[in-house]
Structure 1
């Protein structure tokens, strides 16, 4: 199985490369630190599997998956997560990734997960499944809170869910970046969310963004 690693943390990349290189039937064909490097590497190497961190510094690992699929990538994807957040897991399942693995996992668990994925199955960290069950009644999972937003704020929230930056939202909706910032602040306040990443997850988990895989030919 040909693997590409995408993580902004050098120590994590090197550690995974060292460990995976010892495994039979697994070959790490490249590593990337950010979205642009990852997309170029995926296109060049055509791997079987891409292990990508949920957060890539100020970028978002899920954006790598979105853009790679748009460019025609058919490889499998595994999300590498630092903290077990039920909302990020929900988003990962919406993206239909093959795996969701915590950095706290034991090496044997990682290998087991990759072997399962190689055989065509999915692997989700069992601890996050337990957390998800416990959080099913969380108010953040209830899309009725969206009714608190104005129509423009809903548009902003949808764009956040699609991974747009403030500049991209401003250009798309023909408003200023300063206006976008004000709307984002209102969205976070009304929905009691901590940051724009949580807002993006909320938009996807509650169905405001209907994600579709696109393949360009």
Structure 2
């Protein structure tokens, strides 16, 4: 089996490549750090599966999926991301990917997932299966839809690179209040750290910044 790994972090690419090549079923593993290189490698090497990060620096794994599908490339794609599946799993599957795993997944689970998407199966983690089986009632807000207008405004400013102190000045509120909003946003989005929040906010603004619902 031939696999293409797409991640903007060289160390992460190297680690994934070594893990995948340790599996007897995987004969080769090429790597790309951006969408353009990934498109070129996918066309030249015809991998049996592509493993891609959702966030690719200034680009997005969703962009890569869309461009591959637009040109008729049907290579199975597994998204491997730090973002909670509750936020993105359904979105990447709708975009044309065959699976979504969080980076906390075990090596065995990753290799199994790559094999399964190559066989034409759809892959989500056990945790996501549990969420689907215990889904919230129809119409219940989740993810960004669960944020209050004030929290949405804070999320947009985080995406623009504003610090808590700067946001506090812009909104005429205390830094403590803004920090409370940040914690509430992280909880609702299933994020753990400030860096995860910053990366999510930037990606969200890129994808939805012009959406009137979030203006």
- Normalising to structure 2: TM-score of the pair? 0.63
- 2: CA distance between counterparts of 1:124 and 1:201? 24
Change in Cα spacing, 1:104 to 1:201, as seen in structure 2 (3 Å) is farther
> Which residue of the partner structure matches residue 7 of structure 2?
7
> Which residue of the partner structure matches residue 95 of structure 2?
95
- 2: CA distance between counterparts of 1:141 and 1:129? 21
Structure 1 unaligned blocks of 5 or more: 143-191, 207-217
1:46 and 2:52 matched = no
Map 1:87-166 → 2, pairs under 5 A: 87-131=87-131, 133=134, 137-138=140-141
- 2: CA distance between counterparts of 1:130 and 1:3? 28
Shift of 1:141: 7.6
Tell me the alpha carbon deviations over residues 102-145 of structure 1, each in whole angstroms, 9 at most, x when there is no partner: 11001111122222223321110122343464566225687xxx
> Which residue of the partner structure matches residue 156 of structure 1?
none
Tell me the alpha carbon deviations over residues 154-212 of structure 1, each in whole angstroms, 9 at most, x when there is no partner: xxxxxxxxxxxxxxxxxxxxxxxxxxxxxxxxxxxxxx9984633637999x9xxxxxx
Shift of 1:24: 1.6
Counterpart contact for 1:141–1:202, Cα < 8 Å: no
- Of structures 1 and 2, the one scoring higher in RCO (CA 8 A, sep 6+) is 1
- 2: CA distance between counterparts of 1:202 and 1:86? 20
Counterpart contact for 2:86–2:143, Cα < 8 Å: no
Counterpart contact for 2:55–2:203, Cα < 8 Å: no
Residue correspondences, number: 158
> Which residue of the partner structure matches residue 69 of structure 2?
69
- 2: CA distance between counterparts of 1:124 and 1:203? 30
Structure 2 unaligned blocks of 5 or more: 146-184, 190-199
- 2: CA distance between counterparts of 1:79 and 1:139? 21
> Which residue of the partner structure matches residue 28 of structure 2?
28
Change in Cα spacing, 1:127 to 1:201, as seen in structure 2 (3 Å) is farther
> Which residue of the partner structure matches residue 197 of structure 1?
203
SS class of match (1:121): coil
SS class of match (2:8): coil
- 2: CA distance between counterparts of 1:16 and 1:139? 31
Change in Cα spacing, 1:140 to 1:201, as seen in structure 2 (3 Å) is farther
